[in-house]
Every structure is written in structure tokens, then in C-alpha cells.
Amino acid sequence: MSRLQPVRGTHDILPEDGRRQRHVVETAREHSERYGFAEISTPIFEFTEIFQRTLGETSDVVTKEMYTFQDRGGDEITLRPEYTAGIARAVISGGLSQQLPLRFFAHGPMFRYERPQKGRLRQFHQIDAEIVGVAQPQADIEVIALGADILDALGVLQSTQLEINSLGDAASRLAYRDALVSYFGAHRDGLSEASQHRLERNPLRILDSKDEKDCALVADAPRMENYLNEGSAEFFAAVLSGLDLLGVRYKRNPHLVRGLDYYSHTAFEFVTRELGAQGAVIAGGRYDGLIEMMGGPPTPAVGWAGGIERLAMLAVSTPEAPRPIALVPVGDDVQEAVMVLARDLRNAGFIVDLGYRGNVTRRMKRADKIGARVALLLGGDELERGVVTLRDLDSGEQQELTRDALQTALTSLL
């Protein structure tokens, strides 16, 4: 019993936090539907190979952070650390490549063994948006605009900055990689130990290093924009032009990268300084090579993921909890009638709190404690006359109403 507490890096989502997080999800779902996105849900665990192949076998997520186990059938299973790989797998295994283009919205829990801190948990939750099967820059523009609209609806957009960069196509990326290897190779001794390893495996990852030694070298490193071929430069210019057209503000960040080869062209993040080091609230990019790498047909795609906990902490427009109706029986002989009335009101769409014990005074105190808007009192006399006493808990006024008039009065008050 000494371990009767949540596992480190997890927490209980109590009603107030749950209400705020639900607001994030419902806001994201509503705006995604306006853009024509359909909701999808994939399993919270997949065969480990799915993530090893898509996230890179040498990435920190795969080597240090995944929750991986062997199930009773001997299969190696991993709790999903992110959504995109599962959605790409669903496109392949579900035969959805015949239905392109596809627009997906998803939300749910993710799992990573990371050091817990503000805005970062080992079980966390994300919203996710993906456009699959569109090679044109309009998909990048739309998916970024959707993210901006969701942030705006949550009251978060003004406290974030959209940072954006181009990774170019495969040819541009290869030329840039060679330039980075040449530059950082000449300064190898000045790199951190971690970045010396990255130089061999994935030199682009050095650009987003937070190590002070690396940052000094990164400041003078070659920039991707100088290695974009004509097609890649035109693609990025079209994305920026579209964002300008829609009034989505952005800042170009030449050090914003994605380390895996299936990423291409646009990479972007909405970042904030209000959560300390955990600044990204939405992050994404174009991953044209992912589905083909997983065994499907060549399929362009772009998308993003956003942290629900982080967005809930930042949101300034969370609606207040609805105020219920408190049903108060006056005497034991009306308990059954009160239960029937509660059921009728709930079926009519009202939120009803039915206290289970105590006299009228105690029940009225409970009504005040839970923030009830009105109290309905029903005693034997009212039951015989076919009326209910409605007490307005804000004004203190009360009136007797027939059952037929009750729902009209409640609708007006609530």
C-alpha cells in the first residue's frame, strides 16, 4: 500500500483538469470538421517495428523513451509515443490509399519515458491533424491554418509564435547534409559528445541541440535556404505566400529541422515562452516518404500534433462548468416521485443533481456547494397538487409551477 499513488510521470485527470482538456479536444474537433477532417482512432499500442522503422532505430525516442514489452503471444509491442506512424499504418493496412486525399483528426494518450517536468509527462495526450495524399503546398497551408485557428479559438494564438523552415526535397536535403558534415567535421572537437555522435548518424539533429558548445557553432553553420533547388524554393515560397494571404503570422527559423529522411519541405512549430523549456504546443511538417518507407505506395502527407495538457494550461477561454439543477425532496414519502422527476428532466437535456441523504437544510447547503443555479423542492403537498417549487438560488425568489410549465421556466433560467 506504500505505492498507492500514480506512477511517476502520470497523473489523475480530475474533473477540473478534465473539463479544460475536453474543451481543447472539442475545440480542435469542431475546427477540424470545418476543414473537412474526419475523426480517426488507432490502437494505443502497435508492433514495435512500426515505431523503430518510422522514428529511426537510433533516435532518442526509440532507444530511451519507448514503453516496449512482449505480450503473452510473444509479440513485441510498444505503447504509441506519437500518432503519425499509427495513422500511416492504418492507411496501408486499411487499403485507404484508394480513397486519397484523406484528412484525419485524432486525439488520445501517448507514452514516453521522459524526465517529468512542467508540460511534459510520461503519459500525455495529443490532438493530431494529418492530410494524406496531397503533394501541393496548399495542404501545408491548410494544416498550418487549421492549427492557427484552433489556437486562436483557445485564446492561445497571441502568446505563440509560428516558426517555419524548409527541409527541401531529397536532393536538396542531401546537398545540405554534405555541407553540414563538412562544416561540423572541421569543428568536431568543439561539439558536444552527443553531437559528435549525431555527426555520424544524423547531422541535421545538431542544429536543434541546446548544448552551449553546439549553439556557438550552429550560429555560423550553413543554412538550408542556400541549398534549396529551384523546385524546393518555389514550394516553400508558395507556402509562405499562402500563409501571408490568410494572415497567419510566422517567423523563419533556419535551425528548425526534422532528423528523419522521410521528412521533406515544410517543418513548423507554434512555440510559446509561457511554459519554460517546453515551448512547442503544436509541431509538424511534411513527411512525403513515410508511407512508402513503411511498405505502402508513394504517398505525400503533411500534419502536426499538439499537446493537450500544454494547451489546457495556456487556454484562456475555457467555458465555465455548467450549473446543475438541485432536486430536493421534502420528506421521505416523495423519494420515488423525485427520482422520476430527475429522470424526466435529464431526458429533456437538463443537468440534475439528486442528493441521496439529509434533510432539506443539508440538501440546500449541498446545492450551494455545487453551484446549482436553481433548486426544485417537492413535498407531499406539492405532489398532490401537481406542482413543484422552483427556487432561484441567485435571486432567492421562488415560485410554484405546474409540471407542464416547469421545463419552459428552467429553459429560460438556464
Q: Is the pLDDT of residue 116 over 70?
A: no
Mean pLDDT of the 134-152 span: 98
Q: Is the pLDDT of residue 356 over 90?
A: no
Which structural domain, as residue segments, surrounds residue 99? Answer: 15-169+229-314
What distance in Å separates the CA atoms of residue 346 and residue 353, rounded to the nearest whole number?
10
H-type helices in 100-255, by residue range?
Answer: 137-153, 170-186, 193-201, 212-218, 230-246
Instruction: Specify whether 95 is located in the same domain as 159.
Output: yes
Instruction: Specify whether 258 is located in the same domain as 309.
Output: yes
Instruction: Give the 3-state secondary structure of residue 384.
Output: helix
The pLDDT of residue 276 is 67
Cell of 236: 516553400
What distance in Å separates the CA atoms of residue 59 and residue 63, rounded to the nearest whole number?
6
Domain assignment of residue 346, yes or no:
yes
Instruction: Specify whether 136 is located in the same domain as 261.
Output: yes
Residue 56: which pLDDT band, with cuts at 50, 70 and 90? low
Instruction: Specify whether 141 is located in the same domain as 121.
Output: yes
pLDDT tens per residue across span 162-174: 999 999 998 998 8
Q: Please list the residues that pair with 285 across neighbouring strands.
A: 267, 303
Q: Is the pLDDT of residue 62 over 80?
A: no
Instruction: Specify whether 341 is located in the same domain as 393.
Output: yes
Distance, CA of 78 to chain centre:
20
Instruction: Specify whether 295 is located in the same domain as 331.
Output: no
Residue 40: which pLDDT band, with cuts at 50, 70 and 90? very high
Provide, rounded to the nearest whole percent, the portion of the chain with pLDDT above 70: 95
User: Which residue type, as a one-letter code, is found at position 71?
Assistant: D
Domain assignment of residue 372, yes or no:
yes
What distance in Å separates the CA atoms of residue 328 and residue 348, rounded to the nearest whole number?
19
Q: Please list the residues that pair with 126 across neighbouring strands.
A: 108, 307
What distance in Å separates the CA atoms of residue 149 and residue 139, rounded to the nearest whole number?
15
Distance, CA of 369 to chain centre:
32
Is residue 106 a contact partner of residue 306, using CB atoms and an 8 Å limit? no
Among 291, 314, 337, which residue terminates a domain?
Answer: 314
Instruction: Specify whether 359 is located in the same domain as 271.
Output: no
Instruction: Specify whether 254 is located in the same domain as 400.
Output: no
CB atoms within 10 A of CB 47: 13
Q: Left if phi > 0, otherwise alpha if psi is -120 to 50, otherwise beta: which for 36?
A: left
Q: Is the pLDDT of residue 311 over 50?
A: yes
Residue 1: which pLDDT band, with cuts at 50, 70 and 90? very low
Q: How many domains, the chain?
A: 2
Instruction: Give the 3-state secondary structure of residue 123.
Output: strand
Residue partners of 330: CB distance under 8 A and separation at least 6: 360, 377, 378, 379, 380, 382
- Phi, psi (rounded to 5 degrees) for 374: -140, 160
Per-residue 3-state assignment (H helix, E strand, C coil) for 327-349: EEEECHHHHHHHHHHHHHHHHCC
CATH number of residue 282's parent domain: 3.30.930.10
Among 314, 337, 361, which residue terminates a domain?
Answer: 314
CB atoms within 10 A of CB 93: 11
What distance in Å separates the CA atoms of residue 360 and residue 327, rounded to the nearest whole number?
10
Q: Choose from 10-24, 43-57, 266-280, 353-367 the range with maximum mean pLDDT.
A: 10-24
Instruction: Specify whether 116 is located in the same domain as 261.
Output: yes
Q: Which residue shows C-alpha cell 514503453?
A: 67
The pLDDT of residue 141 is 98
**Nearest alpha-carbon partner for 228 in 237, 220, 219:** 237
